[in-house]
Structures are given as C-alpha cells and as structure tokens.
Amino acid sequence: MDRLEAMSLFVAAVEDGSLSAAARRSGVPLATVSRKVSELERHLKTRLLNRTTRRLTLTDAGHAYLAACRRILDEVGDAERTAGGEYSAPTGELIITAPIVFGRLHVLPVVTEFLAAYPLVDIRLTLGDRISQLAEDHIDLAVRIGRLPDSRMVAIRVGSIGHVVCASPAYLAAHGIPRVPGDLETHSCIAFESLGSPATWTFAVDRADLAVPVRSRLRVNTAEAAIDAAINGVGLTRVLSYQIVAAVRSGTLRSVLREFEAEPWPVNLVHEGQGRLPVKLRAFLDFAAPRLRKRLARATW
C-alpha cells in the first residue's frame, strides 16, 4: 500500500464530503479510492470513517488521524518544494482568487505585470464572488473585500472601498435627486443581491447605522447588471465605489447621498501564513501590495 497516497485520498474524502467527490478531485476511479481508504483502515486496525448513503462522518480515531495526515502531508509537500527550489527562487504555480469585477479591473493588470517580471512563475487566477476556503480549495492567496472574521489567516491591507448610490442623469432629472436616505422610499431601486438585503440599504446617520427601506423594482446578482440597468434609467442602484469609476467619470452615472455613505470596507490580501512562505508567494505579495494600493488610491472621482 502506498501510505501517502492513501492518506491523501482519505483527507480528500473528508474535505470533499464523499468518496466520489474525492475521486473526481484526485482523478482516481471511485473503486480505487474506496479500496485505498479500506486498506488504510485495515492497516491501522481501526475504522476512520462512518459511511452512509448520504455522507461520511469521522470516527474519534478518524478525527485524530486526519490531523496527523494533514501535518504529515504538509511536511512532505514542504520538503518537496524545498528540494524543487520553491523556497530559493520564485518558481511554480500560484493560485489566486478575487471578486469578479475587482479581479478584472485591478488584480488581472497586476498579475500580467508580475508574469512579465517573473517568467518562472505561472498563475491560475479564479474570479468569483463566492468566498473560497484557502486550505480546502488549495488556494495560495485570496483578495477579500469586507471585514474579515477572526481566523488564523494573515491579512495585508491594500486599501478600502465604499458603498455608493448612483443613477443616470436622465433618471435623476425625471424623478428628482434624493437628498437624505429616507427619500429613497419614493424611488425605483435596483438591488445587487450579493451586496446585501434587497429590501433595505444601510447608511451612516448621526454616527449610527440606519437601515432604509427601498423598493427594488429590479433584482440582479451581478454588479455589472445593476450598473447597466442604472445607466439605462431603471432607477438608483447601490454598488461598490470602484465599480462605477469609469461610468461616473464619463457622465453616464451620477453618485448621490455621498455624505451618508456607510463605513468603507477594507480590501486585503489574505493567505494562510503558516510556516515559511514559498518565495513565489512572497514575491507576489511584495510586488502586488504596493501596486494595488496605488490603483485603489486612484479609483475615485
């Protein structure tokens, strides 16, 4: 039995929730995954997993063994990266995730510059608004917008972005400009569902948060759709400031209620930060952080 392979498949089964999911992730037949895990249990003379038709659960022995497997596999991976020169020169693949619009507007340009400067590093950039789990999804670095929960992750702040209410000049000319948040009750609104509740928008009034009811005549699940609908005069929308810089500068959108904007959200580069960082990750952090700070400082009007 290849013990390390069996450990890897066991960990994948636990992290992915099923033997079939582990087989898909590993590119190994399901029968092989099941056999390897069973061989591991026979070798250890104990059951690691309770199997049902719907899910896998760890036994007490499985919990302890999972932690040991992760530690051993991390140490093996660390040794292989050291032998391969990953800790002596920037080389290998770097996996990065970022929100869709922010990634396209700001992260991708920095990534292309980095690739030109470091020809031995390859990057896989995944853009998505779902919050990925770095360890489980095998991600080296994530760009996160918003307040971070307490965790073991290391965060490097590169700036902040605010929430902005905006509409087309034509809409504002026809329906009037809201002067205080309460005026929104009489306006048509476009809700970007990923940014918060479609029924209320939160503003800062007298140093406190105020939730204002809004009439969402249109609900969309991407910022691009909300912005396009606002440009077309459907109503007011509320998005993040960097998403409408070009539209405001070109005059196709106009921001309102700026004095009532809620506290800006921080933008951070987040990584696990456990142990010695691979040189490729340290090189990218040193390269990207100052460039993203400059880009965010310019992303205003």
* Chain segment 201-243, per-residue pLDDT in tens: 999 888 788 899 999 999 998 889 999 999 999 999 999 999 9
In degrees, rounded to 5, the angle at the alpha carbon of residue 161 between the alpha carbons of residues 157 and 165 is 165
**Amino acid 132: pLDDT:** 72
Considering just the CA atoms, what is the radius of gyration of the chain in Å? Answer: 24
**Amino acid 87: pLDDT:** 57
**Amino acid 84: pLDDT:** 61
**Amino acid 137: pLDDT:** 73
Could you give the CA distance from residue 226 to residue 189 in angstroms, rounded to a whole number?
Answer: 10
Could you give the CA distance from residue 278 to residue 264 in angstroms, rounded to a whole number?
Answer: 32
Could you give the CA distance from residue 87 to residue 107 in angstroms, rounded to a whole number?
Answer: 24
**Amino acid 274: pLDDT:** 63
Could you give the CA distance from residue 288 to residue 56 in angstroms, rounded to a whole number?
Answer: 40
**Amino acid 82: pLDDT:** 65
**Amino acid 98: pLDDT:** 94
Which regions of the chain are under pLDDT 70? 1, 53, 78, 81-88, 135, 150, 274-276, 301
**Amino acid 268: pLDDT:** 95
Could you give the CA distance from residue 149 to residue 276 in angstroms, rounded to a whole number?
Answer: 23
Could you give the CA distance from residue 142 to residue 158 in angstroms, rounded to a whole number?
Answer: 13
255 contacts 164 by C-beta, under 8 angstroms: yes
The pTM for the full model equals 0.65
140 contacts 271 by C-beta, under 8 angstroms: yes
156: tokens are 């490097």
Total residues found in the chain within this entry: 301
Could you give the CA distance from residue 145 to residue 193 in angstroms, rounded to a whole number?
Answer: 16
**Amino acid 237: pLDDT:** 96
Identify the DSSP state of 94: E
**Amino acid 298: pLDDT:** 84
